[in-house]
Amino acid sequence: MTYFLSDAHLGSRAIENPIAHQQTVISMLNEMEKDATAIYLLGDIFDFWCEYFWRDRSKEQYRPILDKLKSLTNKGIQVHFFIGNHDIWTFGWLAKQTGAIIHRRPESITIHGKRLFLAHGDGLVPSNYISQVPKHLQKKIKSFIFLRKVFHNPILQTLFRLLPPAWGNAFGYNWAKNSRLKELARPCPYKGEDKEELVLFAKEQEQQGNHHDYYIFGHRHIELDLMLSRDSRIIILGDCWQQFTYAQMDNQGNTTLHNSTPL
Ligand SMILES: [Mn+2]
């Protein structure tokens, strides 16, 4: 079996019991361990993750999950870690601690004869998208794209990593907490086939001849399993902080969405 999960937002200061939350995610991994050959973590597993140039003792809060991932990779289960928009800033430490393979960009891979397009999903929109949406949304998208550039800029990343971890974390966790609280106050449900960016993105890929049997994304915190055509499907993975969603692909390439029960 191959498993996919995303958006645990571990360590979020908007989550009441972070230890129980981490344990729930670990219990999901324990279940997967029974028959998994590979586990794909599709981004935002951590609510804020930055590896500084200095030792960051606060990372010890994640020791249980880091050890769990390490034990999975020690057993020969592949763990693939895609950066999200909250855990961009890994520079080797996480890979060393867990044995996970880090992915910084969307990937096309083939498993069990199926071609998969995998990504967290932030920043993926069809071409000329901005000009097609209403003015008030254009501003929002442009500022998201600007922030994304800032966060991915190597020079700014280096400067941020020079900060004392306590300062960087105070900034990062509060920024992330605000986005969690905003989401709780104003959830953004599925926009529909003609408006949901990742659906439009996947449809465009198909139209351009870049065929995939499956598009699997996180980021949106909505559960979606939609046929794009007779032989193409998009799956958006819900999340692992409220819905505890995961996707399971069997050895014939059949993929299904499931939910775990929180501890
Ligand atoms: Mn995200």
Ligand 1 centre from 88 Cα, in Å?
A: 10
Q: Please state the pTM of the whole predicted model.
A: 0.96
Please give the distance, rounded to the nearest whole angstrom, from the Cα atom of residue 227 to the centre of ligand 1. Answer: 23
User: What's the CA-to-centroid distance between 223 and ligand 1, angstroms?
Assistant: 14
Report how far ligand 1's centroid is from the alpha carbon of 248 (Å): 20
Q: Ligand 1 center to residue 123 CA distance, Å?
A: 10
Domains of the chain: total: 1
Q: What radius of gyration, in Å, describes the C-alpha atoms of the chain? A: 18
CATH number, position 218: 3.60.21.10
CA nearest to 12, candidates 235, 239, 259, 261:
239
- Domain of residue 213 covers 2-259
Which residue in this structure is represented by tokens 């981490």? 22
What separation in Å is there between the alpha carbon of 253 and the centre of ligand 1?
A: 26
CA of 45 to the centre of ligand 1 (A): 9
Handedness of CA 28, 29, 34, 37 (dihedral sign): positive
pLDDT at 141: 85
- Cα 209 to averaged position of ligand 1 atoms, centre (Å): 27
List per-residue pLDDT tens for the chain, 263 residues long: 999 999 999 999 999 999 999 999 999 999 999 999 999 999 999 999 999 999 999 999 999 999 999 999 999 999 999 999 999 999 999 999 999 999 999 999 999 999 999 999 999 999 888 888 888 888 888 888 888 999 999 999 999 999 999 999 999 999 999 999 998 898 899 999 999 999 999 999 999 999 999 999 999 999 999 999 999 999 999 999 999 999 999 999 999 999 998 88
List beta partners, residue 214.
116, 233
- Compute CA distances 74 → 71, 78, 164, 223, whole Å: 5, 9, 32, 31
* C-alpha 163 – ligand 1 centre gap (Å): 24
158 CA from centroid of ligand 1 (Å): 22
